[in-house]
Amino acid sequence: MQPNDPRDGTDSDREYNRRTILTGAGSLSIGGLLASSGVVSADDENGREPGPKEDELIVGISPSASDIEREALAAVPGDARVEHTNEVINYAVVSFPSEAPDFARETFIEAITANEYVEYAEPNATMESFVTPNDPYYGSQHAPSQIGCSEAWETTYGDGDVTISIVDQGIQYDHPALADNMDDSVPNHGNVFTGYGSDPYPVAGDEQHGTHVGGIAAGGTDDGTGHAGISNCSLLSARALDRSGQGALSDIADAIQWSVDAGADIINLSLGATSGYYTLRSACDYAANNGVLLVGATGNSGANSVAYPAAYDDVMAVTAVTSNDSLASFSNTGSRVDITAPGTRVLSAVPWNSYGRMSGTSMAAPVVSGVAGLVLSAYPDLSGSELRQHLKDTAVDVGLSSYAQGAGRVNAAAAVNTVPDGYDGEQGTGDEPQEDEQNDDTDDSDDSDGDESEGHLLAFVTEPDASLAEYEFTADGPVEITDAPYDSPSGRSIGGNGNDTITESDGTYRVSGLTGGGYGDAFRVDGAVTSIDIDQPDVMWVELEGEEKSVEEVIRETGGGPDEDENEDDGETDEPTCGDETITASADGTLDGSGWWGESDRYTYSLHTENPCSATLELEVPDKASFNLYVTLDGRRPSRWDYDESTSGDGEPITVSLEGDEQFGLQVHAVSGNSDYTLSIEELGL
């Protein structure tokens, strides 16, 4: 159980809803917040500070609000002001000085949310990218081959008329792998929603996330540059996250709305938060209602709940799997998952003109966005909802639960080469494949060509600064020295040399060798690899069919070790019982309810059992004080006016049935008295 923002003497970080709030305050005219004078739209905004905006509230306004600007602006307290409006998805942003007294904010909130034209008020919350720490290792790609891109590319590399918008950090749009695919229909290939100016170019070399995500979805394919993206579709850069990878809710909503109006067909959202917000939902609704496919990352906390916006019905939620289709350890899961994609050590472009690996659901989402671009290039009359369903219909079951994989792992080959159900529209090809395409895959499980389809291509590759590193392996079948059909990440060859030795005894082949300086050794192994020993694993790695693998993965996938079928049996007892797994959590605190506005503490709780079925929450408070507990189940911030369950501190528990995608929001509020309290949760799983 985790507390939210630190208490400052009153209820902090509160969400308000006009439909449930007490309406004792006087009415307020707010139609002018959407008028033109002194108020900007998402298209005209310039000069907002980048990143989080903790001293702001977002006020959602009914589309029926009349134009009464003067009264609205006059109603804003002297220590608050209207910072920004969005006239398309109907909201205004109001800021308070950080030193403003709490009662001023509370008075304004109660007044404005009592107005008939106000639909909600909520914090201008912070959202962030979903990436694990960057891995400086540079190496070969596995994502395109893992999802069958070679077969998809035989039909199309992607049409430049299909546009993917990356709502993220800025993209280095002159990167060699990206320059040819950047959308030229708008200045600077995008727009800025966090910070200053209108150029979304990264502000520093460590602002890598947006470029990396864009390179995965639509880095130049078959163009001779350093890596192949999933598609050759056009890219828009909607810079809504700052250099640190954080962004304000209003900036992200503006970026989504702008992307739709700029002509995006697909919007990639490799970002999010644990809670849902009305403003974010409105932006996603706007995109979906305009036929745009939204693709979102589920989050990287390993929780059994999908982060927002991926959890919304309008967004395709993507988890991450490893190169051997195991669930990535960091990936969030849940009942709202739609599909999965490779998300570990994915190679893509980074500033400046370089390449690097990153891991996260942030990387899995653009894999799906890129495949969606390929499909839309082949079947341009698909709607956003039809495109989403087709990706799910053609996904491949990799043996994970539906909470982990949704419909399965995205399959570019099947998605492009299978006509969608009921589709009778135009069929396109996008950019035609070149005749000298070096990959000619004919089966998802075999990435080799012609006569070399027999056996396994095994390679030992080194870092460019590595001195000579030794390796040894054994195999059950014949082994031959060969040349790999690709270079190392350093641009050096991967093939045999005079230091390689192969011996055979009783059908067991023993191979040893050494290499370094960015070079590698390659072998064709016609049998199972039974053991591998690398003396310097920090500078040498092993690849199977051009994909980096662990030693254990190589042995298992070539048939040299036992299959790992344990996951298929997990949780499949004959008669599972709720309570077979139990997890408890608790929090202690002290609150004062003697003042005009009682204090509150807030917490969030994510489910931890593998198959959640029930949870019981209890608030214990001494008789001398009166405290209440307010609970939400969908991650939104609870308040005394907006909650799903509630109880007082008299020991009466709350018990709720679980479906597995719940995210608890908890508020302990002091009604009267000054006292300690204990909040406890018991979660049961099957």
Matching residue, tokens 């739609």: 338
Q: Cα(293)–Cα(213) distance, rounded to whole angstroms?
A: 17
For residue 498, give the DSSP letter: T
For residue 155, give the DSSP letter: T
Cα-to-chain-centroid distance, residue 566: 28
Angle at 426 between CA 423 and CA 427, to 5 degrees: 90
Residue 22 · residue 641 · CB < 8 Å: yes
Residue 104, number of CB atoms within 10 A of its CB: 15
- H-helix or E-strand containing 372? helix 361-378
Residue 683 · residue 582 · CB < 8 Å: yes
Q: What share of the chain is helix, strand, coil (3-state, %, to 5)?
A: 20, 30, 50
Residue 581 · residue 609 · CB < 8 Å: yes
Q: Cα(173)–Cα(180) distance, rounded to whole angstroms?
A: 9
Q: Cα(51)–Cα(284) distance, rounded to whole angstroms?
A: 20
391 backbone dihedrals φ, ψ, rounded to 5°:
-60, -40
Residues classed as catalytic: 168, 209, 362
Question: First vs last Cα of the chain: how many Å apart?
Answer: 21
Q: What's the length of the chain?
A: 686
Matching residue, tokens 């392996």: 473
Q: Cα(112)–Cα(649) distance, rounded to whole angstroms?
A: 31
Q: Cα(398)–Cα(337) distance, rounded to whole angstroms?
A: 15
Question: What's the maximum distance between 2 C-alpha atoms anywhere in the chain?
Answer: 93
Q: What's the alpha-carbon Rg for the chain, to the nearest Å? A: 28
Strand 190-192 and strand 234-239: the pairing is parallel
Beta bridge partners of 287: none
For residue 133, give the DSSP letter: P
